[in-house]
Structure 1
Amino acid sequence: MHSRAIIRERGNTTKRYRLHPAQVVVSGFALTILGGTALLILPNARVGPGGASFLEALFTATSAVCVTGLTVVDTAVYWTPFGQVVILLLIQIGGFGIMSFASVVGLAIARKLSLRSRITAAAETKSVGLADVKGLVFGVVRISLAIEVTVALLLALRFMLGYGEPVGRSIWLGVFHSVSSFNNAGFALFSDNLMGYATDAWICLPIAAAVILGGLGFPVIVQLRRQLRRQGRYPRHWLQRAWSIRTWTMNTRIVVAGTFVLLVLGTAYITAVEWSNPNTLGPLDWQGKLLAGFFQSVQTRTAGFNSVDIGQLDSATLLGMDVLMLIGGGPAGTAGGIKITTFAVLFFILWTEVRGQVAVNVFGKRLSRAVHREAITIALLAVGVIIGATAALMLMTDISMDALLFEAISAFATVGLSTGITAGLPWEGQVILILLMFIGRLGPITFASAIALRERHATYELPKERPIIG
């Protein structure tokens, strides 16, 4: 019986084509963007007669799903409440992850995940195995909702008590900016983004906290949450709790340490360079300058909110922010860029070569050579894409290279900061930004999962030869 089944199966010439998990993720994001575009084109999504143009809707939907925040129209006045709700849902779905969102729906309906669903969800969330996908997905849902609800309440209370906004308006402002900040999207419901609240710590700090937590990446947040719960059950001396950091994974240590260092350096650099700039931090008192400098350093790490006029920043500040945007935040989260871990691996490779050592060691562990190749490849691909896009934009416009490079990096790193040139770009330039946002959001995910699932081991090696380097 078994042999006959095998013969019939072999005799069947019909082949079923199955998409690679990375292709499923890309297709999911693309279909979601197209669905969002269709909703935003509807006449009731736009204020005034008629609907938005296809390019306006496509650009906004792509920016929302890819949690970027670049806009070609004023979100606060161009879109109706219906359009703003669509944008909010696209941000939430895009930040959470298309396949992760589909997994939650599947679990809610069928109470289980198929093997293929687990594979695609693992490809998107960068799970270390298929067994932990279900727990990770539910953990992400709980953590996301807890953070977003907390930040929304704080912001709603501030808008209501501090600015006299009606209750309904305050709740809507709190919810929208909470979801936008935790998902590192950078969309705001004010025409000047958050420039009107540059010195209001009750607005800036909760948003900054949500951005930082979202930028850590879900695997890091889940591990930190588990450790805090464990310590709550078994309280220990603070020295013992500090020593438990040694139990963190290498990924968690790199992301937490890198986030702290980059936030401090970014705050110091932006504040120092812009301290006397009359168009940015100059008119503020020293407390306001520190708050605005810190807030902008946080947002440069892929969130996209701005409390100062980005177009008035010094060229040196823009260059420093280019570096911070390109590095980005933690992997498998809502942040963009090449990721802190990629940058850290490149740094440790450089440090090892400078010291004349062979093995690259990080926090007492040796890095696999496959990780070296992945980090170098992702970094070089990112630089190549950004340079190519910037050159194309320079051929289309007379805008300075500083502004165009900033715009290209902001789109690729899904940051959303802009010097104010987005809406003025020709349609070809806006299409380039759309492609940059899509590639920036999905490129690293697709590439990493493709490597992990298609790694092949050669049965032979070619003879070695070494070219002259340097």
Structure 2
Amino acid sequence: MSNLQHRSWVSREERGRFWLLTSLRDLVDRIAAGSPARLAVISFAAVVTVFSFLLWLPVSSAPGVDTALEDAVFTATSAVTVTGLTTVPTATNWSFVGQFVILIAMQIGGLGTLTMTSILALAIGRKLGLKSRLITQEALNIGRLGEVGSLLQVIVVMSVVIEGILAAVLTIGFLLVGEPFLTALWHGVFYAVSAFNNGGFTPHSDGLVPYTDAALILLPIALGVFLGSLGFPVVLVLRQTGLRFSRWNLNTKLVVVTTTVLLFVGWALFLAFEWSNPDTLQGRHVTQKVFEGFFHSVMVRSGGFNLVDMNSLEPVTLLMTDALMFAGGGPASVAGGIKVTTLAVVFLAILAEARGDRSVIAFYRTIPEDALRIAISVIMMGATVVLVGCGILVEVSEEPLDRVLFEVISAYATCGLSVGLSGELPPEGKYVLAVIMLVGRIGTTTVAAALALRSRRRLYKYPEERPIIG
């Protein structure tokens, strides 16, 4: 038998053995024929629908609890989009089955439905085709097609290893605070997945507030959130080049530098604004104040865990938190928001304009004009989503604008920090917030592209004329 015949026979055998996976992949390819962006919308909507149904089942609710449909849909959307906003208490409303469903939803949402599809293709032993690579390239925001296969393998290995290490350390941490082994193990696994995927869900009624002195719990969670917010392409570069800054590509440099700057700025401002606030930091030891400022700055970007009540923060701290949530994390990461590279590109463009430079330069590289246009589009579309969402929820809930704005930005940025408004909304308000979470997770530019029937390309160019600006 020739090698070609042998490969063909193996392929047919694999298709028979993994018919469900191959059928799923073929279906994805057919849907993606028009636009990979449309596939993103359909995929996430389908996954949310499945998990909404699972959470609506009686077995997912705690004994004596009847979960409303809007709460099941909201929780499923929040878990799949790795947001962390809740309308019902995770610890008391959901049974172990329900919490396990939420954990799986966070894992799938963190990796991304499109990424999971390509991972399935790799798992049955077939190399990614050009179309599948293009789909995954768009989903992960990768510059070169050759990186797709290796990146997918890194995603799986990295996720398993990091979450495994976090789960082990967290299990020890919960054992040290007096939890039984099985309970500590479950909480360790749940928080590991929730942290690394920036999910923000907590299986404890009081969240992490009772563990403000448990460094072996809080530090691993903060580290997991930080690593998850960097983005998979950045992790791939770090894996290949280590900490040699000169060998990093431009995306990695922008993500790491901007993330670090925002981390320290948020840390310093939180301490400055809350140091004497009797409802938050006043009366606590200096080291605890400093650590809680660090923890808040890490979580505010997309983590969603908190050690202080958001309603107790000073108004200026809430405003700062709004801004940092809107900025989000790295591109192709589990974080939401407009992404730190978007913020960096626009800032560099403003700096170049102030200096009179014709080109936008970063680390001895020229940023293309189309990247600036995309950055501006992302910011404007994100602001539009927040504005429209605030308008609807202010009308529906009759709540003050500052509370509504905080909740809407948290939903759009898939952050998960909350002032408690989500659970107070009527059903229609919960559905609106769920849509905002879905739009924020998929990305405003992806949504816009998915709504278009096909990509447009003009074969002609109009004369140039400059309007008056400012």
Match among 205, 218, 227 for residue 191 of structure 1: 205
Residue type of the alignment partner of 1:297: S
CA shift for structure 1 position 281: 1.3
CA distance in 1, matches of 2:448, 2:290: 38
Distance 2:151 2:279 in 1: 45
Code of the aligned partner of 2:194: S
Contact 2:38-2:450 within 8 A present in 1 as well: no
| Alpha-carbon offset, residue 348 of structure 1 | 0.6
Q: What's the CA shift for 1:400?
A: 1.4
In the alignment, which residue of structure 1 is the partner of 2:431? Answer: 431
C-alpha separation in 2, matches of 1:175 and 1:85: 10
1:104 paired with 2:119, answer yes
Aligned match of 1:171: 185
Identity %: 43
In the alignment, the residues of structure 1 paired with residue 386 and residue 182 of structure 2 have an alpha-carbon distance, to the nearest angstrom, of 42
Per-residue deviation at 1:50? 5.9
Match of 1:442 in 2: 442
CA offset at residue 147 of structure 1? 1.0
- 1:267 aligned partner: 267
CA distance in 1, matches of 2:317, 2:371: 32
Which residue number in structure 2 is paired with residue 5 of structure 1?
A: none
- State how far apart, in whole Å, the 1-side matches of 2:419 and 2:359 are: 43
Matches within 5 A, 1:292-307: 292-307=292-307
1:361 alignment partner, SS class = strand
CA contact (8 A) 1:148 1:179 kept: yes
| Cα contact 2:382–2:444 (8 A) shared by 1 | no
SS of the equivalent of 2:302 reads: coil
> Equivalents in 2 of 1:101, 1:458: separation in Å?
34
1:402 counterpart letter in structure 2: D
Give per-residue Cα distances to partners, 1:301-335, cap 9 Å, x unaligned.
Answer: 11100111111111110000000000000000101
Report if aligned partners of 2:78, 2:434 keep a CA contact under 8 Å in 1: yes
Counterpart of 2:6 in structure 1 is none
The answer for the alignment partner of 1:213 in structure 2 is 227
- Matches of 1:43 and 1:99 in 2, distance apart? 30
* CA shift for structure 1 position 114: 3.6
Q: Helix, strand or coil for the counterpart of 1:302?
A: helix
Q: Which residue number corresponds to residue 162 of structure 2?
A: 147
Q: Counterparts in 2 of 1:310-349, with a 5 A limit?
A: 310-349=310-349
For structure 1, list consecutive stretches of 5 or more residues without a partner in the other structure.
Answer: 1-15, 229-240
Question: 1:122·1:133 contact (CA, 8 Å) conserved in 2?
Answer: yes
CA distance in 2: counterparts of 1:316 and 1:204, whole angstroms: 25
Q: Which amino acid aligns with 1:148?
A: E
- Structure 1 218/436 Cα, relative in aligned 2: closer, same or farther at 3 Å? same
Query: Number of aligned pairs?
Result: 439
Query: Are the aligned partners of 2:34 and 2:454 in contact in 1 as well (CA < 8 Å)?
Result: no
Please, what TM-score do these two structures have when normalized by structure 1? Answer: 0.90
- Amino acid corresponding to residue 164 of structure 1 in structure 2: G
* Superimposed CA distance per residue, residues 89-137 of structure 1 (whole angstroms, 9 cap, x where no aligned partner): 0000000011211222222224333433322222211122333211110
Q: How far apart, CA to CA, are the structure 2 residues paired with 1:285 and 1:356?
A: 48
Indicate if the aligned counterparts of 1:195 and 1:309 stay in contact, CA closer than 8 A: no
Partner residue in 2 for 1:45: 60
CA contact (8 A) 2:192 2:221 kept: yes
For residue 125 of structure 1, what is the aligned residue in structure 2?
A: 140
2:217 is aligned to 203
Is 1:397 the counterpart of 2:412 in the alignment? no
Give per-residue Cα distances to partners, 1:69-92, cap 9 Å, x unaligned. Answer: 000000011100100000000000
- Unaligned segments of structure 2, at least 5 residues: 1-29
Please give the residue correspondences for 1:214-229 in structure 2 after superposition, counting only pairs within 5 Å.
214-228=228-242
Alignment of 1:405-424 (within 5 A): 405-424=405-424
Farther-moved stretch of structure 1 (271-280 vs 71-80): 271-280
State the secondary structure of the residue aligned to 1:316.
helix
Give how far 1:454 is off.
7.0
What's 2:194 paired with?
180
Matched residue SS, 1:301: helix
CA root-mean-square deviation: 1.9
**CA distance in 1 between partners of 2:215 and 2:63 (Å):** 35
Instruction: Give the distance between the partners of 2:120 and 2:333, measured in 1 at CA.
Output: 19
Match of 1:21 among 36, 57, 64: 36
Task: Specify whether residues 457 and 368 from structure 1 end up closer, same or farther in structure 2 by C-alpha distance, changes over 3 A only.
Answer: farther
> Which residue pairs with 2:47 in the alignment?
32
Q: Are the counterparts in 1 of residues 65 and 93 from structure 2 also a CA contact under 8 Å? A: no
Q: Do the aligned partners of residues 447 and 425 (structure 1) sit closer, same or farther apart at CA in structure 2, a change above 3 Å counting?
A: closer
